């Protein structure tokens, strides 16, 4: 919202919980989607960020509840005449792959969340073959910053610094691609307003960094004193040990 307010556009925001977004219109995609396009004010472009069931990536509800609801909602918007759609995807669509990940790779997700997002993308691409609309699929990597869940790494770090002074974590040697939420918002807005028909685009920093390096960087930036209890948790079994995103297509789209 903050990034969109910098642009000369009329904004209509929709949220399930209005107490979290007081300027928004109430809209729950799990309700009957009929008339959703009109409820949103018949928009020219839509940025779709909604998804439930997180951060549990293996929950079957991603497949049996979230995916059908999102198909029905977005299908209603497209049938009613929406011409440009930007959707938040996930780097988990790539599956367990090491190294630099780029958009030309075949998706091979192995979590219910990643599979659901990939199926939604493929379904939208099939819809585009039947009716013309712009589609941008932002494949987002590891976001941090304002608005994060308290269970995310940075908020846990802040809480530990103010509380026990100790953070239990993995060994911290896994390599990831961390990108601030402000950069994600900027990319989504610019991709949407600059044409809105880019296909799959990685939204990432393009900078590989170990989790431990990122944690230590946050500690230094914020002046926090904290003991890291490394190795307390195992490494996630649904991710490769070392991967990050290619920014080449993103740079081309934004240039």
pTM of the model: 0.93
CB 190 within 8 A of CB 155: no
Residue 117, domain member (yes or no): yes
Q: How far apart are CA 132 and CA 136, in angstroms?
A: 13
Residue 182 lies in a domain: yes
Q: Write out pLDDT tens, residues 162-220.
A: 999 999 999 999 999 999 999 999 999 999 998 879 999 999 999 999 999 999 999 99
Query: How far apart are the C-alpha atoms of 123 and 134, rounded to whole Å?
Result: 14
Ramachandran assignment for 95, one of left (phi > 0), alpha (psi -120 to 50 degrees), beta (any other): left
Is residue 222 included in any domain, yes or no?
no
What's the DSSP call for residue 132? -
221 in any annotated domain: no
**What residues make up the domain containing 94?**
4-148+178-207+240-254
Give residues with Cβ within 8 angstroms of 65, minimum separation 6. Answer: 30, 52, 53
246 located within any domain:
yes
The series of mean pLDDT values per 10 residues for the chain, 255 residues long, is: 90 79 78 92 95 93 97 96 97 97 97 98 94 95 92 93 93 97 97 92 98 97 94 94 98 95
CATH number of residue 90's parent domain:
3.40.50.720
Q: How many structural domains does the chain have?
A: 1
In a domain, 183, yes or no: yes
pLDDT at residue number 178: 98
Domain annotation covers residue 14? yes
């Amino acid at each position: 919202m903050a990034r969109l307010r910098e642009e000369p556009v009329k904004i209509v925001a929709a949220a399930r919980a209005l107490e979290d977004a007081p300027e928004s219109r109430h809209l729950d995609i799990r309700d009957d989607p009929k008339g959703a396009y009109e409820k949103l004010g018949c928009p020219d472009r839509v940025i779709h960020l909604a998804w439930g069931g997180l951060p549990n990536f293996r929950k079957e509800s991603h497949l049996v509840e979230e995916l059908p609801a999102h198909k029905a909602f977005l299908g209603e918007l497209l049938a009613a005449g929406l011409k440009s759609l930007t959707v938040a995807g996930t780097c988990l669509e790539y599956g367990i792959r090491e190294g630099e990940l780029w958009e030309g790779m075949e998706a091979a997700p192995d979590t219910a969340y990643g599979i659901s997002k990939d199926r939604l993308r493929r379904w939208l691409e099939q819809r585009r073959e039947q009716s013309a609309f712009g589609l941008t699929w932002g494949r987002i990597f590891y976001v941090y910053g304002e608005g994060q869940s308290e269970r995310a790494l940075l908020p846990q770090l802040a809480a530990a610094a103010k509380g026990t002074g100790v953070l239990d974590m993995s060994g911290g040697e896994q390599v990831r691609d961390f990108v601030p939420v402000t950069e994600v918002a900027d990319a989504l807005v610019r991709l949407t307003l600059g044409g809105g028909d880019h296909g799959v685009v990685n939204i990432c920093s393009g900078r590989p960094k170990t989790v431990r390096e990122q944690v230590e960087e946050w500690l230094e930036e914020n002046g926090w004193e904290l003991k890291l209890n490394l190795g307390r948790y195992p490494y996630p079994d649904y991710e490769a040990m070392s991967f990050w995103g290619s920014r080449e297509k993103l740079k081309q789209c934004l240039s």
